[in-house]
Structures are given as C-alpha cells and as structure tokens.
Amino acid sequence: MSGKDIVRVPTFVEGFDRLLCGGIPVGSNVLVTGVPGSMKSTFCYYILSKNAAHGKRSVFITLEQKRDKILLQAESMGMNKPENLVVGDIASFREQMGNGVEEDWLTFITLFLEKKKEEKWSDLSLVCIDSLNALYSLQRHEPTRNDLFAFFSELQKLGSTNLLVSEMPLTRDRYGQYGVEDFIVDGIFHLDINMIGNAVERTIQIVKMRATPHTLERYPFVFEDGMFHVLTLEGG
C-alpha cells in the first residue's frame, strides 16, 4: 500500500512531511519520545500551533509545566498561540472538573476532550498530552495494561490526531514508560540529542508510522528562527 489515499495532517516541519508521505495519517495516536531536553514539548507545540494557524482546532494539555510558562517559552521561540489552539494545565483542569478528577486522570482527560467536541469543537483535529509519564503519575493507582488499552482506544475514538509525549530514560531502552505503548500506538517519533565534541546534534527518527512507507534513518533536526527543519539528502 502506498498510503497515498490517506488523509494526513502536516507537521509543517520542513523536510519531514515528505518523509511521511505528506504527514501523519488523521486519527493516529503517535508517541513523541526522547530523553530530557530533546525538544519533545516544543516539537509538539509547533505542530499544533502551525495547524491551528491553518484553521485546525487543537488542544495542548500540559501536565508538566504551568500554562503561562509554556506560552511564554513558546513565544520566546517565535511561536504565538493562535485562537484555534487551547492550552490547558493541571490547575485549569482541576478548576473545571472539581475534586473527582483526582481519582482517575486517564478517564478524565478523555471525558474532557469528548465534552469539548460535543459542546463546540466537533472538528477537533489535534491533541497533545505532555506527558504520558506525568499523566500516569497523577493516577491514584498505577495504570494496568487494560487501563492503557482502554485509554488509547478512547483517544482514538475522538478521531483527532493525538501526539503523546513520552520521557525516554537515558538508557534509551524503551519508547513508552511501560513498553506496551510502543505496540498500541500507530506511530513513534524518536527525538534525540548527541554530543559531538562540544557540539550538540539533534536527530529525529520515524520508528513507526502505520499506513506510511518510511525509512528508519535518523535525520539531523534543527530549530532556527521559529522553524523546525529536518535535513535530508534531497535538500530539505
């Protein structure tokens, strides 16, 4: 299958969409994984804000940092918040949902997104959850394998394209915290940092993307003047 007939969401990362046959298949759950500082949050915010600027409704859920900090950081890197992008943090969710949320954040997050779709954003296109690890640690009880299957399946039912940030340990021996995520998701982007002498080289790899022929190569990846670029041999 060439994957040509599938509707795709562009990442707007220069050089990268070509590697993805145009973008991420609509409705995919995609793990965005990497060690600390590999620009996972910035990369996801970039994809959502670019799509939002093109009229796509997007929700960025930050469970690691406060909303204001994320917005300030994004602005300092040349990315403003378009109207179609909603950014919510733990405090804003607590405020909306009251105490019940403390019991089960996995269910709450999907309920929140379903409500958003029902009430005014039936065309919700992109969601980012930053990060899955923070979400898991908010749960009163450690999620079971069944909880994870149910959670990813509820996310998929939304029909949106979902970017799920995952913190990779420095040992780089798995993509998701429990390993099971690696199998459930439709796609995995691995962002990495390598030290070459005193210089930092960033790379991006498409480890997996269903319905998309792609290479497993690691490509140099740079962020400059508010834009991400993937450097490919074809001159991206």
Ligand X SMILES: Nc1ncnc2c1ncn2[C@@H]1O[C@H](COP(=O)(O)OP(=O)(O)OP(=O)(O)O)[C@@H](O)[C@H]1O
Instruction: Mark the segment that binds Mg ion (CB under 5 A) among 8-16, 25-33, 41-49, 215-223.
Output: 41-49
- Asked if 41 interacts with Mg ion (CB under 5 A), we say yes
- Asked if 89 interacts with ligand X (CB under 6 A), we say no
Sign of the four-CA dihedral 179, 155, 103, 60: positive
Q: Which is nearer to Mg ion, 126 or 134 (CB)?
A: 134
Residues ≥6 apart with Cβ < 8 Å to 178: 143, 145, 148
Shortest CB 66 distance to ligand X, Å = 13
Window 107-146: contact mask with Mg ion (x via CB under 5 A): ----------------------------------------
Q: Which is nearer to ligand X, 121 or 223 (CB)?
A: 223
Subset of 137-166 contacting ligand X (CB under 6 A): none
Instruction: Mark the segment that binds ligand X (CB under 6 A) among 3-11, 32-40, 101-109, 140-148.
Output: 32-40
Q: Which residues pair with 218 in a beta bridge?
A: 205
Distance CA 94, CA 189 (A): 30
* Gap between the terminal Cα atoms of the chain: 25
Residues that bind Mg ion (CB under 5 A): 41
